[in-house]
Amino acid sequence: MRYSTPVPLRPVEYKDSEEREEEDDRLDELDELDKLHGPSSPGLFSGTSLPNSRLSIFHSSATQYDSSPNQADYDQDYKNSLEDSQTLHPIHLEGGQEPSPLKPRRTQSLQYKPPAHTKRVLFFGTSALIGLAYLIVFFATQGTRYGHSVKINVILMISDGFGPASESFARGFVQHLQNLTVEEQAKFSRWTFPETTSNSQQSSIKRPTGPSKNKFGTLPLDPLLVGSSRTRSSNSLITDSAAGATAFSCALKTYNGAIAVEPVEQKPCGTVLEAAKHRGYLTGLVATSRITHATPASFYAHVIDRDMESKIATFLTGEGPLGRNVDLAFGGGRRFFLPSSSLTSSRSDDNDLLGTAQSKYGFTIINSTDAFEKAWDPRSSKGHFKTPVLGLFNDNHMNYEIDRLSLEGTEKREPSLRNMSLAALQTLSREAKDKSAHGFFLMIEGSRIDMAAHSNDPVGHLYDILAYQETVRTVQSWVDEANKAGWPTLMISVSDHETGGLALGRQLTEKYPVYAWYPEVLANATHSTAWLAKKISMAVRPSQSVSRQFIVDEILKDGLGIVDASVDEIDKLVILGSTQNVDYLLADMISRRAQVGWSTHGHSGVDVNLYGYPADLTKDLFGNRENTEIGQFIVDAMDIDLDIVTRDLNRLAKSWHVTDANHNPNLQNFQLKHYSF
């Protein structure tokens, strides 16, 4: 090795010709060693690579050459190097031995002048070797950017507010449909799921009339059950959607209301979506809520309060500290992307985020179902979008599924969760192949399952569950095709929490209850209770008698299929002023008739079902899991690094991130103001 500082070169004076001859002989021996070991033998000088042992005792400063050197240039540079070489870097031998001082030979012996063509060969030869090394590295990592070797697609489906009882609830309704006539089943054909309900199991019990058949069908999720998830947040046994989704996105517990920030100092935490983007995956989000709502926001934004939706929207369009991380987003919530001058805006500033997303970050903006269907045909289920793409189909949340169905064929129609999800899968997979990406991460949320349960509305809850089940079936089929094609793909389905405390069976009197609940009551409904409550509030009713008739005919009979309303129930609907109170009353009326019970208008703390597919790729999720383990499973499956993203986020956090000086990580004072009408 070399000394850290150079030592001065001392001129050598020979006492007599004999000493000069001895030095010449010693240098000749070095020449012989060069021939024996080669010009860069590690056996001569430890840790060095010397081109010539005579010249290498001088370590002058490097000289830069242009791409076309000539002999005159070299002669002059070499002469200059001799004049400048007043210092030497002595070299240690292996084993700590000091080299014997080498005295400079006669000047003429040092004036080695390689011909010009030799320099050209050295230059271009070195360039070729560097180029070859680059090509080796390039092809070794082609399709695996950042030197990343994993290629996989991960689809995380979140059934917001969907508890174990909700699965039984929807299954019971589908089983009821099997008892209807063919004509009666026609309007429910989307929800019969023949691939599961047709697999009727024969009873092993023999009867005189022959073996009985159990026409007890199942739902698409049922065969995929692998375990359950514990849902508590860092500051409460009952979580909200923000903390619940952050457990999935950051693989850590945080306080209720937090969007991808840790609970103590409120510092941002890197998410699986951001880390996937950093690794070279494509990323997508599909939701039926506002796309800035708690669950989707927890994958791309970082704020201390979920209600900061104007700020959250800036992260989605690329204005966050990491730039654009989302390649595809479909959902509602247009109002948080429009400037305050727009009539439907909920922003307090004049930022036109859609304009910024389009002009600055290259987003394709889809503002209507017509535009969506021009790029992706719902009849053939074919087509794709050029990423990045942002589709916003409602100023607020998208409609409940049962209300969406009533809008089909009108200008206000919206794409279904199934169609948005399939379009996202086809777009991301095609774009990933075109861009040689590793694959993609896609989060799909059945958002409004939760919101119907907040109203204790069994109709809205049921149909959004069925729409989610339909989407699961479509995604599972797509996963099968991807795996058959040799592209590892997995799907996880889980809820962030349960909502409403749903119970199948309700005691209505002091008498001992009947062991039953009645799904057929729900089959006659055509709208959610929230839709009907809004219809009542907007109706022009010149007199109380007209109001009563309007409520009896259009709200109760046509909307909910209720024909036995009491005078007291009708009177309450006439005089109630609050839309929310009307919503709650309508929900209670139909719940009582179906004998479905609810314990809260908020969330509950029960464990939720965990589903995975295919089994060989999701076996590490089997059993009862903390919700943070699901986030960590995604990290491991995709081989991504949350810590790197977290460091990047916090490096300049003071310039963009706002914390609450009065924050108490243990305080349980979270309010549900975001659910108000």
Which active-site residues does the annotation give? 241
Tell me if 468 sits within 8 A of 315, measured CB to CB: no
Q: Which two tokens stand for residue 354?
A: 């859609």
> Does residue 295 have a known ligand-binding role?
yes
Continuous H helices in 458-564 = 458-484, 529-538, 544-550
In angstroms, the CA 419 to CA 422 distance is: 5
> Does residue 83 have a known ligand-binding role?
no
Q: What's the gap between Cα 107 and its chain centre?
A: 70
> Does residue 278 have a known ligand-binding role?
no
Tell me if 548 sits within 8 A of 570, measured CB to CB: yes
Strand partners, 228: 609, 624
Site of tokens 């070489």: 85
Residue 62: C-alpha distances to residues 73, 142, 448, 602 (Å): 15, 36, 69, 73
In angstroms, the CA 600 to CA 149 distance is: 48
Q: Cα–Cα–Cα angle for 307, 310, 314, nearest 5°?
A: 125
Q: Which two tokens stand for residue 308?
A: 């900061």
> Does residue 454 have a known ligand-binding role?
yes
**Cis-peptide, bond into residue 388, ω within 30° of zero:** yes
Strand partners, 290: 332
Residue 592: C-alpha distances to residues 332, 453, 566, 580 (Å): 32, 15, 13, 18
Q: Return the closest-CA partner of residue 446 out of 611, 583, 599, 605.
A: 611
Tell me if 328 sits within 8 A of 374, measured CB to CB: no
Q: Which two tokens stand for residue 631?
A: 């986030």
Q: DSSP 3-state assignment of 376?
A: strand
> In this structure, what DSSP letter does residue 51 have?
S
What's 204-272 look like in SS3?
A: CCCCCCCCCEECCCCCCCHHHEEEEEECCCCCCCCCCHHHHHHHHHHCCCCCCCCECECCCCCCECCCH
- Residues in contact with 40: Cβ distance below 8 Å, sequence separation at least 6, in sequence order: 49, 50, 51
Site of tokens 């359950």: 228
In angstroms, the CA 354 to CA 365 distance is: 7
In the chain, DSSP finds a helix count (H) and a strand count (E) of 24, 20
Tell me if 455 sits within 8 A of 529, measured CB to CB: yes
Tell me if 670 sits within 8 A of 240, measured CB to CB: yes
Residue 350: C-alpha distances to residues 312, 337, 394, 590 (Å): 16, 10, 20, 44
In angstroms, the CA 234 to CA 665 distance is: 8
> In this structure, what DSSP letter does residue 675 have?
G
Tell me if 668 sits within 8 A of 235, measured CB to CB: yes
> Does residue 59 have a known ligand-binding role?
no
In angstroms, the CA 347 to CA 395 distance is: 12
In angstroms, the CA 586 to CA 615 distance is: 42
> Does residue 497 have a known ligand-binding role?
yes
Residue 222: C-alpha distances to residues 248, 405, 473, 492 (Å): 22, 25, 11, 13
Q: How many other β-carbons are positioned within 10 Å of the β-carbon of residue 181?
A: 7
Q: DSSP 3-state assignment of 401?
A: helix
Show binding-site residues.
Answer: 293, 295, 445, 450, 454, 496-497, 603
Which residues contribute to the annotated binding site for Zn(2+)? 450, 454, 496-497, 603
Q: Annotated binding site for Mg(2+): which residue ranges?
A: 293, 295, 445
